[in-house]
Chain A
Amino acid sequence: MAYTDDEKWMKEAVEVLISETAEALVQVDFELIELERNPKDQSGINTIFRAFHTTKGNADSLGFNQLKLLTHAAENLLDEVRAGKLVIDSSIIDTLLNVVDAVRSSLAMIEEKGHDTDQDWSSIITTLNHLIPEKSAANIREEKKPQPRKKAVPAAKSPKKKTIKQKKEGKKAASLDVVAKDENKKSEVQLGEKTLRVNASILDNLMDQVGELVLARNEILQLVSQLNHDGFTQASHHLNSATAELQEGLMRARLQAVGKSWVTFPRLVRDLSAASGKKIRIFMEGEETELDRTLIEAIHDPLVHLIRNASDHGIELPGERKKMGKPQEGKIFIRAYHDAGQVSIEVADDGAGINPDKVRKAALDLDLIDEEQLSQVSENEIIMWPGFSTAGRVSEISGRGVGLDIVQTNIERLGGSIDVHSEIGKGTTFRLKVPLTLAILSALIVISGQNRYAIPRTTLLELVRLEGEEARSGIEYIQGTPVHRLRGKLLRLIFLSDILNTQIGDQSHAPDVNELESVNIVVSQVSGRQIGFVVDEIIDNLDIVVKPLSRHIKAIPFLAGATVLGDGKSALILDVNGLAQNAVGFQPSEEHKQSSIVSLSKQVQMESLDKRNLFIFEGPNKVTMAVPLDLVSRIEKIPYSNIVRTGVRNMVQYRDVIMPLLFLSSFFSDPCNPWRCPPENELPISEEGTLPVLVYAHKGCLIGVVINDILDVVETDITIQGAKDHDGVLGTAVVRNEIVEFLDLKGIVAGLDLSTDQTALTG
């Protein structure tokens, strides 16, 4: 079955090509931006050259000719730079960044179709060739005369080969070292230790097993203390320390440098500054700080959001900055460091800072709060509220427009916290704090009523114990709300027993304050505010193993999981953020997060949307529509005057490509004719002369979908059940008390012929 082996080999080869090249491109992005900033430092050129060179060779050996031609042209250009015949300037950088994007879309096509014959990069190749000075152009290395090549990759005869695979790929280390920018160090590091590439799922599985082991150990320790058997006690101590070391070691094995996911940031910032007309430079520090790999992945999107936020709302335009006496170039700093068993990651900018008056006014305008409540909250809290937009009006959402509330929710879901410091005119710093690992949690064990509960230490500020007279007078009620004066400041109190009693039937009751002998308060930081949880007893600090909850219990918002304690009994892990919201409801726009029942046109299960972010917009005929946010590349306002008519389609230049525009109103009036541009008076042109456009990436091509208005982004928890009652709509649901139609973006675009829609702009 040589054929099948061959096919199998090819499939694997294509996978390797895609992953290997994608990894290299990230470094190319990074180095190009370094080079742009500091053209004199040419240390990165070789990395860039090699990436294109290797891709060329690999594309050639697998027969992807278009990709080969493209990377070959880029390689030639870089060869000139390397030889000192060509000086790097911004047009070269721009073109090479275009090449990177082109290679990415090439890989996307190869992944999808298995070939790249439909792609024509001749215009970008011409641009590359034109960049090479005339004189040397004649000397462009003559490609080796095309030998009549037989099949590049012959079929394997015998598949069983013994291969000593030294899996020291060095790739991981290499990509990190690129960040560290220390070439010499790299070789030392690689020589010094042997690295093994291990499948992540194996580590995950091991971690689960160690979790079980930790629980068994805890049980045994508990039993031993009752047994009083010398030999057994000794053995169990041995088991104890070995388990602890195993747990520690495995946790370390799962740690990776946070900088691993940062290499994409310089390119992001460059794109953001190009799009906004601002000058922004990114500085990164502490890339080597280690964190559990799942956490690194989980915080990546929140970090991207904060960077976008800093660029959109923090950094001012160059003119403004000059007026303020600041350097025209704004700075964004990303900094990671260890901090008391946790990792802190800061995203800071030296921009305008958060203007409290503006924030308060916007909150009022958006009906998030009334005048009376306004004095009780800080602006740092308000900006984290769902529905709040620093742009003032939600219709001006820039970028993907996810609110900071979603960043906060995501970070808190990881057992982390986020806080903000801002100074007008000086800048803003967001600080994320996350635990080192998700699987094992450092927690405070407390008793409320009959049961023990675990409170993650990440949110913990301090423990306060009131005794005797203090216990009886320490709790006051202001308008029915229990508070405690802690160092002169009012601390809002929540009786744990109150919530647990009503919500999960814990048979304890709120104590009569006048009878208390002592009061234990766990002071926690919740969404930028301090809350004191009153518990019956504080027992211990423990490292606990987090066990997921069953689906039903999961629905209770203030439970984060469960754990098994040393005596073999389980304890629930509390989510203090959920508790605070449940008890106080101080997030005024609770209804913003809620979605209710889905209306069923027919009982056809379409798609399960488990807690997703939805982009809400106004579609044709004033219908409120939604698409999952992850389908949306960007939301843009495109000047009407920029639209160019070519053939049947209307195109617009978007970044470096020509993007076709699809008019939803045309689609809904005639699904066969979505490209038709409606007459000007029917278009939703704003006062500034722009059209709201949702940018959708499809098979490496961008399509601009013209909608009527940008409304909002909400996080919601729905299962769309519905039926295709008409083309382009998946079904309906009620989101925020409004009937919303789900746009079938994928379906609409799948029905289009896009083969020649996009050409890279050259020159």
Chain B
Amino acid sequence: MMDVLLVDDSRLSRMTVKKCLEQKISDWTFIEASNGMEALSLFEEHPVDHAVLDYNMPEIDGIELAVKLQEKNKNIKIAIVTANMQEYLREEAKKINCIMVGKPLNDTTTGGILEFFEG
């Protein structure tokens, strides 16, 4: 049983990410938000140890949101997903102890996220 905060401004993206993760482990509970501010206020009610964030979101991007979440829970493990994978983004994520994963997710990348969450 794992609670995951899932933040993406596109509902379809959330559906897709959810579906990929659920395929690996069936007992996720997803807490969904459509932007950073909403995610932060949700976090107050449902603190979690795992999060999947979209990188490109209005107002607060995935990296900024990750930092803010880490301020609230230093043990949180965060995977950031993006449809524009670039090396410098991977580095940025690494610097703050997150992983950056390309969208759409596939078997390998989903496995990577799980490993990261469980490791």
Q: Which residues of A contact B (CB under 8 A)?
A: 9, 12-13, 16-17, 20, 46-47, 50, 53-54, 56-58, 60-62, 75, 141, 144, 147, 149-158, 161-166, 168-171, 174, 183, 186-187, 190-191
Contact = CB atoms under 8 A, between A and B. Distances in A.
Chain B, interface residues (CB within 8 Å), range: 35 or more
Given A16-B12, A50-B58, A187-B59, 13 more contacts: A12-B15, A16-B11, A50-B9, A50-B57, A58-B10, A154-B20, A154-B107, A156-B22, A161-B22, A163-B32, A164-B30, A171-B34, A174-B58
Interface stretch (B69-77, B82-90, B91-99): B82-90
A156 B37 contact: no
Nearest to A9: B19
B59 A166 contact: no
A147 B106 contact: yes
26 contacts: A12-B15, A13-B15, A16-B12, A50-B57, A58-B16, A61-B104, A144-B84, A144-B86, A150-B107, A152-B16, A154-B23, A156-B23, A157-B22, A157-B23, A157-B26, A162-B29, A163-B29, A164-B31, A166-B42, A168-B33, A169-B34, A170-B9, A171-B11, A186-B59, A191-B38, A191-B41
A164 B34 CA distance: 14
Nearest to B81: A57
Contacts of B107: 150-151, 154
Contacts of B37: 187, 190-191
Given A50-B9, A53-B56, A153 B38 contact: no
A153 B58 contact: no
Interface in B1-58: 9-13, 15-16, 18-20, 22-23, 26-35, 37-38, 41-42, 46, 56-58
Contact of A53 (B16, B33, B83, B86): B83
Given A58-B10, A58-B13, A170 B38 contact: yes
Contacts of A58: 10, 12-13, 16
Contacts of A154: 19-20, 23, 107
A57 B19 contact: no
Contacts of B16: 13, 58, 61-62, 152-153
Nearest to A174: B58
A165 B15 CA distance: 12
Query: Most B CB atoms within 10 A — which of A141, A147, A152, A174?
Result: A152
B12 to A, nearest CB: 4
Contacts of A161: 18, 22, 26-30
Contact of B85 (A62, A144, A155, A171): A144
B14 to A, nearest CB: 9
B28 A169 contact: no
A163 B6 CA distance: 11
A20 B12 contact: yes
B30 A163 contact: yes
Contacts of B28: 161
A668 to B, nearest CB: 46
Nearest to B28: A161
A144 B81 CA distance: 14
A168 B15 contact: no
A147 B106 CA distance: 10
Contacts of B31: 164, 166
A152 to B, nearest CB: 4
Nearest to B83: A57
Contact of B12 (A13, A151, A158): A13
A150 B107 CA distance: 7
Given A156-B22, A156-B23, A165 B103 contact: no
A60 B105 CA distance: 10
A650 B1 CA distance: 64
